[in-house]
A and B are shown apart, each in its own frame.
Chain A
């Protein structure tokens, strides 16, 4: 810290100091919702004309910030008030934690003197968010604010990324100071950039040379490290086929010859067979989630496992690995690319994979009388040339989007992977569109999920955000219904919507264009017409109620035990 007399600063209150620190961190917008405890913050927002996106519910602020962060790789910032404002944001914070998404959450708090007195709108948000944040802080002195904010950004965006929460008591936001920025981060024990063990890299490359059936598994860690180019170069050079997790989609172009598709519960036949039959599995930035490794005891039974992850705690957490490489995916891949190891002989393996791909392609029963959801995703893929940001909610439509959209860019699929949060899609799409106003943004959402955060349609209208909302309406909570049909003898408990809002009127109420697609003969032209508008459109598509997501691996079954559609 420099001596105060050298660097006297203008007198500012905590709120102004906070916004100045955010400006220094290159924050371009805040997603938020005002309230009593954040009045000083919002006064500073007003006076500084800081760009603020007013959502309609605090959960949406968190999801919009997630959308922003997932699309850009930069942290999303949210302001919410104390008590209910903070607790409403919790779902989004938990979602961000699960998907390692960098968020900075500012929660208002009652005045320092009132903390612990059960004051109006008081909640102990630090305790509540301890397990769903990478770290959290409460500010006790206005002079600490810049350091804490900078630490929060540093922690959120380094190592395994994640949400960091700062609880700001109202009196601290009002306190004035002319103290100089003690802004230096002081976290000597936090070492987010591990030294990569070069010997392990060499051993892994040696093992790759000798492998006959190698597979690369790519997950969210590749997006986090922005290592798409390195993955593609490596796969190409060593002719290693690639399987993606849900969050790893986009790293390989869907039509790339080496790409086998998504693995796991609703993955492709070839991807799951490759995971089962491979003799060397190189996992880059995936955490062997149970939707991928559906039966850990039986996962990749013939394979030597290599695990590359920035988070040392992922090693041996689910699947024990012979080669453990703790490090940033890009940095590790660069070292791997520097190796002069010989290419493995994979001719027979490629032939086998090709056979699986040809014999078991992704397919669905086409229909002349009903619009199939898979077909809608394919049509949207064609209309957008595979270049749109694809945002999804959670459920069947999410899987259809993952299975049938022709992804090709990193950060392209914006979805709630780990937590599986219904209601994520609509607000996340808002964050994505604001982050990338010149890029097409498509949201796939179900009739269940849209009703969880439909209030955010107003934000789309207010900011005139050109988001194409594809509402796949099957009048059911389709994924849960699918499980009930398969595992609960078709007892469809609480999953059938007998009554629904008129979504056309709902869109109209917000002043948004709406289309209702029901005719399979004209669905392609109808979609094209709806996509022609340069404003937002709610495109409701009537789909069959009982369409299942296939293929499917029942929970607890191995990757090669897939159910397939007829």
Chain B
């Protein structure tokens, strides 16, 4: 089952190593992870997407992560109302005669063309994982030469 964890780590060397080590020890593969310092940069916010066999494994993993001294906060937000967003940069082949078509195609996705070269474009898209996948699908026939995705970032919706 897919689980989305959000946590706050001390922003110190080796801390992410301890975090991922706790997953590795339990044979948990990371589907995506995004991390960046926030606020006064003493702590980093992490969103990690992982797959586990069952709810018990998820609870156990969160409990183990929570034990780490440098894990300041941890929450499994899968079941809570929350927002997940991802950013992708996509380089796609774009001969001159295909450009207008591509520009038109990315528009409904509210994606932007952020770089133009002689025979390619770089598209930037932000949104849910599904939306990014959908755009990738439609530009695929033009020839996608490089993709980078940030991985999911997310947290819970405010109450009320």
Q: Interface-forming stretch among B17-25, B126-134, B148-156?
A: B17-25
Residues of B within 8 A of A135 (CB): 68-70
Q: Is B59 an interface residue (CB 8 A)?
A: yes
State A312–B25 Cα separation when bound (angstroms).
18
Residues of B within 8 A of A131 (CB): 21-22, 25
Residues of A within 8 A of B67 (CB): 160, 311-313
Q: Which of A126, A155, A315 contacts B69 (CB 8 A)?
A: A155
For the complex, count residues of A whose C-beta is within 8 A of B: 20
State A190–B13 Cα separation when bound (angstroms).
19
For the complex, count residues of B whose C-beta is within 8 A of A: 20
Interface string of B36-74 (1 = CB under 8 A from A): 000000000000000000001001100110111111110
Do A313 and B63 touch (CB < 8 A)?
A: yes
Interface string of B12-35 (1 = CB under 8 A from A): 011001100110010000000000
Q: Which of A130, A134, A311, A320 contacts B14 (CB 8 A)?
A: A130
Tell me the residues in window 114-132 of chain B with beta carbons closer than 8 Å to chain A beta carbons.
none
Q: Which has the most chain A C-beta neighbours within 10 Å: B22, B63, B73?
A: B63
Residues of A within 8 A of B21 (CB): 130-131
Tell me the residues in window 71-88 of chain B with beta carbons closer than 8 Å to chain A beta carbons.
71-73
Chain A residue with the shortest CB-CB distance to B62: A313
Tell me the residues in window 121-176 of chain A with beta carbons closer than 8 Å to chain B beta carbons.
126-127, 130-131, 134-136, 138, 155, 160
Extra inter-chain contacts (19) besides given A130-B21, A187-B69, A316-B59, CB under 8 Å: A126-B17, A127-B17, A130-B14, A130-B17, A131-B25, A135-B69, A138-B13, A155-B69, A189-B71, A189-B72, A190-B69, A311-B67, A312-B66, A313-B60, A313-B63, A313-B64, A315-B63, A316-B60, A317-B60
Q: Which has the most chain A C-beta neighbours within 10 Å: B22, B56, B69?
A: B69
Residues of B within 8 A of A (CB): 13-14, 17-18, 21-22, 25, 56, 59-60, 63-64, 66-73
Residues of A within 8 A of B59 (CB): 316
State A155–B70 Cα separation when bound (angstroms).
12
State A383–B22 Cα separation when bound (angstroms).
47
Residues of A within 8 A of B (CB): 126-127, 130-131, 134-136, 138, 155, 160, 187, 189-190, 311-313, 315-317, 320
State A538–B122 Cα separation when bound (angstroms).
77
Do B70 and A313 touch (CB < 8 A)?
A: no
Q: Which has the most chain B C-beta neighbours within 10 Å: A131, A313, A316, A320?
A: A313
State A277–B153 Cα separation when bound (angstroms).
50
Cβ contacts A to B, 27 pairs, < 8 Å: A126-B14, A126-B17, A127-B17, A130-B14, A130-B17, A130-B18, A131-B21, A131-B25, A134-B69, A135-B70, A136-B14, A138-B14, A160-B67, A187-B69, A189-B71, A189-B72, A189-B73, A312-B63, A312-B66, A312-B67, A313-B60, A313-B63, A313-B66, A316-B59, A316-B60, A317-B60, A317-B63
State A136–B59 Cα separation when bound (angstroms).
25
Residues of B within 8 A of A155 (CB): 69
Residues of B within 8 A of A317 (CB): 60, 63
Residues of A within 8 A of B56 (CB): 316, 320
Determine how close the nearest CB of chain A comes to the CB of B67; give it in whole angstroms. 5
Residues of A within 8 A of B18 (CB): 130
State A451–B70 Cα separation when bound (angstroms).
40
Chain B residue with the shortest CB-CB distance to A131: B21
State A134–B69 Cα separation when bound (angstroms).
8
State A325–B2 Cα separation when bound (angstroms).
29
Q: A315-B63, A316-B56 are in contact. Are A127 and B14 (CB under 8 A)?
A: yes
State A312–B73 Cα separation when bound (angstroms).
15
Residues of B within 8 A of A190 (CB): 69
State A320–B55 Cα separation when bound (angstroms).
13
State A260–B13 Cα separation when bound (angstroms).
49
Residues of B within 8 A of A189 (CB): 69, 71-73
Residues of A within 8 A of B71 (CB): 189
Residues of A within 8 A of B70 (CB): 135
State A312–B59 Cα separation when bound (angstroms).
11
Chain A residue with the shortest CB-CB distance to B19: A130
Determine how close the nearest CB of chain B comes to the CB of A126; give it in whole angstroms. 5
Residues of A within 8 A of B63 (CB): 312-313, 315, 317
State A127–B17 Cα separation when bound (angstroms).
7
Determine how close the nearest CB of chain A comes to the CB of B55; give it in whole angstroms. 10
Top 4 nearest A-B pairs (CB, nearest first) are: A313-B63, A135-B69, A189-B72, A130-B18
State A127–B68 Cα separation when bound (angstroms).
15
Residues of B within 8 A of A311 (CB): 67
Determine how close the nearest CB of chain A comes to the CB of B74; give it in whole angstroms. 10
State A136–B12 Cα separation when bound (angstroms).
12
Residues of B within 8 A of A134 (CB): 69
Residues of A within 8 A of B17 (CB): 126-127, 130
Determine how close the nearest CB of chain B comes to the CB of A30; give it in whole angstroms. 24
Residues of A within 8 A of B25 (CB): 131
State A138–B68 Cα separation when bound (angstroms).
16
Residues of A within 8 A of B72 (CB): 189
State A131–B64 Cα separation when bound (angstroms).
11
Determine how close the nearest CB of chain A comes to the CB of B26; give it in whole angstroms. 11
State A173–B25 Cα separation when bound (angstroms).
34
State A138–B14 Cα separation when bound (angstroms).
10
Chain A residue with the shortest CB-CB distance to B18: A130
State A131–B65 Cα separation when bound (angstroms).
12
Chain B residue with the shortest CB-CB distance to A313: B63
Chain A residue with the shortest CB-CB distance to B14: A126
Determine how close the nearest CB of chain B comes to the CB of A500; give it in whole angstroms. 38
State A187–B60 Cα separation when bound (angstroms).
23
Determine how close the nearest CB of chain A comes to the CB of B28; give it in whole angstroms. 14
Determine how close the nearest CB of chain A comes to the CB of B91; give it in whole angstroms. 34
Q: Which has the most chain A C-beta neighbours within 10 Å: B17, B25, B67?
A: B67
State A315–B66 Cα separation when bound (angstroms).
13
Residues of B within 8 A of A313 (CB): 60, 63-64, 66-67
Residues of B within 8 A of A130 (CB): 14, 17-18, 21
Residues of A within 8 A of B69 (CB): 134-135, 155, 187, 189-190
Determine how close the nearest CB of chain B comes to the CB of A375; give it in whole angstroms. 43
Residues of A within 8 A of B73 (CB): 189
Residues of A within 8 A of B68 (CB): 135
State A316–B60 Cα separation when bound (angstroms).
7
Determine how close the nearest CB of chain B comes to the CB of A104; give it in whole angstroms. 15
Determine how close the nearest CB of chain A comes to the CB of B73; give it in whole angstroms. 7
State A282–B73 Cα separation when bound (angstroms).
31
State A135–B69 Cα separation when bound (angstroms).
7
Chain B residue with the shortest CB-CB distance to A135: B69
Residues of B within 8 A of A320 (CB): 56
Determine how close the nearest CB of chain A comes to the CB of B62; give it in whole angstroms. 9
